[in-house]
Structure formats: structure tokens, C-alpha cells
Amino acid sequence: MSLLTFESFDVMHNTIDSQPNQPWTQDVYQQNLFHVNSEGRRSTSGMRTYLQSYESYFRQLDLTILGGEQSALVMGFALKPGSGGSYGGGIALDFWNANNTRQFVMDWTSAGRIRILSAPGGSILAQSADGALTFDIYQYFEIKFTCDDTAGIVQVRIDGVDVIAETGNLNLQQAGSGGILKIRFHAPANSIYNSFDDLYLCNQLGSYSDFLGDVKVDAFLPTGDGNYQQFTSNRSTHYDAINDIGVNAVTYYIESDTVGEKDSFSITPTGDLPTIHAINIRNTARNPDTGVAEGTLFIRQGGVDYDQASFERGDTINRDDQILLARPDTAGVWTKAALEAMEFGFEFSAAS
């Protein structure tokens, strides 16, 4: 599958999203700015990074559980760069291989010139004209590249327009081997924020091998109980026990001690949703008992349950994301009507 991940940042929170089995990590000193209310471009939550004089804070997207090290990627995200920082030498994006060695970096200058460099303050490999980037407002930023030491390729778009046209024969493999495993999101300096929203990441294989354009990622929490209510809820309804983030996401929960029991839920999708590239079902769970418990995601459409992949849990809170490019009943594209009629749920499918 070429679509590796996408993220709205609406339902992420340090309390549970610092747990294992999820791709986002953060600098240990920056505990409260990963998920920020109203930071997104539609008054939803977003991701912020900033830098203080004594510490370079960053957010890191680790591809270990997303297919591992990649040689070619295309990534897009809404970006609101803060003005007034120490640009031109400060890193905006930082690309590392599996050996934790930097391959190349991207920064921008105070004049809005985007640059691809061999290292912070290093050789300029490709760059835009001044004014390519606008500060203090959201624009949609996309970068596509192939990591190679002599045949590296990079292309950068903002709001669908090339600001760095496809440029080849670059050394984007400064480490001498490998591809990209970790992408670090930095900020300028002096407590100036960079803000991010609506991110996607593809590996240039299959149907998602090029720019997707301005993508909006919407998070929909469950709004109703579905056909199955076999788990035990510690709230009056089942859906209300799993529609929290942060501390409450650990305080309220559904649980089952019986293999074969299921719970399912409905959502209320909002907005026009004219083209739906994919959906992602996310769960956060643990098994407080001994041994290993297995859960299985299922999608219920037209009165039929369609089992998806299973996941295992021990006595540690873990997150599991499952991307579905097509609806399981027809193998066709997702539509808003299909989401309105769909239930998603989980089965306690095995224990050992």
C-alpha cells in the first residue's frame, strides 16, 4: 500500500499518544504543544513546534511501523510558518535514515525562499525564489523526493504550484546508504511557532504515487451505539466511553472478558466530503489480564460484518491504526453516504 499514514492532529494527546505502537514521537522537553486546541486551519486541533534558545524542540514522524525505511516519499501538510524567527540556518524538515544519520534537510529564509540542503547550514542542493512561502497564514505544502546519492530527485509545491520544479541528479543520501526512516519537524527560534495540520504521507508506490493536492483530514469520534453492545461500558452509553482524548481516554472505556463478544459504533460525518481517499480506524487499548488478548476490527455494512486485521495486546496501552482504501462490501470508493450507513467495531477474538 502506498498511502502510509494521514493525520488530522484532532484526536492526538500526549497522555496516550506517547505510548508505543504509534509513529509520532516528541522531544521530551516539549510535553504540552504536540496537540493544541484551535491550532488547525479549520479551528480544530493542530501540531505546533517551537525552539527556545536552550533547546531545539521537534516532532518526529517515525516510519518504523509504517513499512520501515523508504527510498521515495511524497508528503503534504497544511503549514503556517511563524514570522520573526531566526530563519536561514534553522531547520524546518530534517530527514534521517535507519542508522539515525541525517540524509538532507529543508529550511526557508526570512524572505520566504525554500531551500534543500545537505545539512544545517550546508550546501544548497535546490531552492525556490524568494516569496515562495508566506508567513503567519496556512498554505498547503507538498514535497516529493527520491533519496539517492547521485540520482536524488526533489520537487516542492505550495497550494498546487511548483516552487521547486522537479530537480534531479542530487545527493539526497548524505549518509551514503539507506533511505528515510524518520522525519523531524522543527521550528525557527525565539519561541516562534510553526503550525501543522492535515498531513498525508505516501511512498510513491501503487495508486498513491504522486501529489494528492490540498488534503483535508477529518477526525470523527463515535456518535452512537451500533448493532453490537456486548462489551461492558463504564458510561451510560458505549460510544460515549470511547469518544474522549487525553486523560478521559484512559478513565472511560469499554471492556470484555468473553472471547467472541463485539461492540460496534456509528459516526456522523460532517462536511461535503466530495472525494474520500481512505479512512483510518484507530483504537487505543490494553489487556490488564495475564497473557495476550487479540482484538479484530470489523466494518458492518448492509447487515454484514467484514473482518479486518487483528491486533494483539498485553498489559500496556497501545494504539492500532488500520487504513481502508476501499469499502469492504463493494470494493468501491468511500462516500459520505457509505460512512453514514457504516458501523465500525471490535471483537474480542482470542486470548492466550
Q: Is the pLDDT of residue 85 over 80?
A: no
Rounded percentage of the chain residues whose pLDDT exceeds 90: 69
> What is the CATH classification number for the domain harbouring 244?
2.60.120
More confident residue, 143 or 188: 143
| Residues 269, 342 share a domain | yes
CA 46, distance to chain mean position in Å, is: 11
Q: Measuring CA to CA, which residue among 293, 289, 278, 254 is closest to residue 4?
A: 278
pLDDT value, residue 116: 96
Angle at 264 (CA atoms; ends 262, 267), nearest 5 degrees: 170
What are the backbone dihedrals phi and psi of residue 206, each rounded to the nearest 5 degrees, phi first? 70, -145
Summarize the confidence of residues 171-183 as an average pLDDT.
Answer: 93
The answer to the question of residue 341 being in a domain is yes
Name which of 319, 292, 322 is nearest 309 in CA terms: 322
Query: In this structure, is residue 162 part of a structural domain?
Result: yes
The one-letter code for the residue type at 178 is: G
Block residue for cell numbers 523508504: 70
198 and 228 belong to one structural domain: no
Q: Is residue 210 part of a domain?
A: no
Q: Domain boundary residue among 141, 167, 202?
A: 202
What's the pLDDT score for residue 8? 93
Task: Write down the pLDDT at residue 143.
Answer: 98
275 vs 215: CA distance, rounded Å: 10
Number of compact structural domains in the chain:
2
For the stretch 236-264, pLDDT in tens is 999 999 998 766 677 899 999 999 999 99
For residue 208, being part of any structural domain is answered with no
Average pLDDT value for residue range 328-348: 97
Q: Are residues 276 and 176 in the same domain?
A: no
Contact (CB, 8 A) for 262 and 298: yes
- Render 141-161 in DSSP notation, one character per residue: EEEEEE--SSSEEEEEEETTE
Looking at the chain, the whole-number percentage of residues with pLDDT higher than 70 is 89
User: Do 144 and 267 belong together in one domain?
Assistant: no
pLDDT of 54 > 50? The answer is: no
Q: Reply yes or no on whether the pLDDT at 88 is more than 90.
A: no
Residue 207 is assigned to a structural domain of this protein: no
More confident residue, 87 or 237: 237
pLDDT, residue 31, reads 45
39: phi > 0 → left, psi -120 to 50 → alpha, else beta; which?
alpha
| Predicted model pTM | 0.93
- At residue 39 the predicted structure's pLDDT band, cuts being 50, 70 and 90, is confident
For Cα atoms 17, 218, 347, give the angle at the middle one, nearest 5 degrees.
60
Mean of the per-residue pLDDT values of the chain = 89
Amino acid sitting at position 133: L
Q: Are residues 81 and 139 in the same domain?
A: yes
Residue 337 inside a domain? The answer is yes
Predicted confidence at residue 25, as pLDDT, reads 79
- The residue that leads in pLDDT, 30 or 40, is 40
281, amino acid identity = I
C-alpha cell at 317: 496501552
Nearest by Cα to 298 from 316, 278, 283: 283
Q: Are residues 172 and 246 in the same domain?
A: no
Look at 17 and 329; give whichever has higher pLDDT: 329
Three-state DSSP state, 5? strand
Same-domain pairing of 181 and 300: no
Mean pLDDT computed over 194-210: 90
On whether residue 217 sits in a domain, the answer given is: no
- Alpha carbon distance 199, 140 (integer Å): 10
| H helical segments located in the chain | 14-17, 248-251, 336-341
Residue 221: CB atoms within 10 A of its CB come to 15
Residue type, 106: M
Same domain assignment for residues 190 and 273: no
Domain range holding 140?
3-202
Domain boundary among 150, 170, 202: 202
Query: How many CB atoms sit inside 10 A of residue 206's CB?
Result: 11
Question: What is the domain-level CATH number for residue 82?
Answer: 2.60.120.560
Give the mean pLDDT of 233-237: 95
Give the CA-trace dihedral at 10, 15, 20, 23, to 10 degrees. 30
Indicate whether 29 and 71 sit together in one domain: yes
What is the per-residue pLDDT across 124-166, written as a single tens digit (0 to 9) for each? 999 999 999 999 999 999 999 999 999 999 999 999 999 999 9
Domain final position from 172, 202, 232: 202
Assess whether 196 and 327 both reside in one domain. no
Q: Are residues 34 and 136 in the same domain?
A: yes
127 and 9 in one domain?
A: yes
Categorize the per-residue pLDDT at 90 as very low, low, confident or very high, splitting at 50, 70 and 90: low
- Going through 247-291 in order, the beta strands assigned E by DSSP cover 254-255, 262-266, 279-285
